[in-house]
Structure 1
Amino acid sequence: METKDADAIWHDDFHDFQMNEWTKDRVVLIGDAAHASLPTAGVGASMTMESAAVLADELTRTDSVYLEQALEHYVAHRRDRADDLQKKSRQIGTFALFDHSLLTTVRDQVVRFYSQECMEDYFRDFLSSKI
């Protein structure tokens, strides 16, 4: 199928969500199911891999008797990091997805001076913190 209308295929209605609960009994959510972030942060897949690694670590330290405690430890270990990343992705999303012509023009001019180093500084604490 071919289209000349970019609006027919472009979607910028991005949403994230925060789950209040990541576990119920012996079921646990990881990755986007637990802590979806806007694609503006560009770290959704790595956050999922981190969560999988933390969950695997918790599960190797327990047996079925203490499974629910292990899942609670997983959530306690991941919650602050996931919340922080969601906050940062929303901030970047607000800036990146302006829907106003004047603000878009200003943003496009400002971005020219926003270096890789500035982006790294914005994420420095996140990138250097222990998983």
Structure 2
Amino acid sequence: MATQAQKFRSTRTAGFWLAAVIAALQGVNAVRTVIDPQSFATYMGLPVDQLGALGWVQVYGLRAGFIAVLTAVLLARSDFAALRWMALAALLMPLGDAWLALSAGASAPIIGRHLAIAAFLLVAAHFLSRAAQAKGAP
């Protein structure tokens, strides 16, 4: 007779796929900051005019790359409890990005995109919590 842990398949959970989307999009953001940092800054709602400011865009890219790798590692380990807390802690980023974009005079769609990312993280945290419970984690 199979136990609950033996029956559990992480790839059959919404939490797994939502976290995979987080990892993929953060990886894409990291690459975009290297390929065209000026365009990425405009996309974020914080356009830069000076060459020196582009370094800060690449700092963002390093952050995004770290998040992508950490998320992938936690997914490989099926550590849904850690992913849940990571998604909740990550709320600081899109909320902060929305605030920065608003302060810079960004358009409503750009600010809305940051807020939608925050909402996505809340949904992901919910489903990651359910996946952690299904796996038997606290």
Q: Normalised by the size of structure 2, how large is the TM-score?
A: 0.34
- Higher helix proportion, which one? 2
Q: Normalised by the size of structure 1, how large is the TM-score?
A: 0.35
Structure exhibiting the larger radius of gyration computed from Cα positions: 1
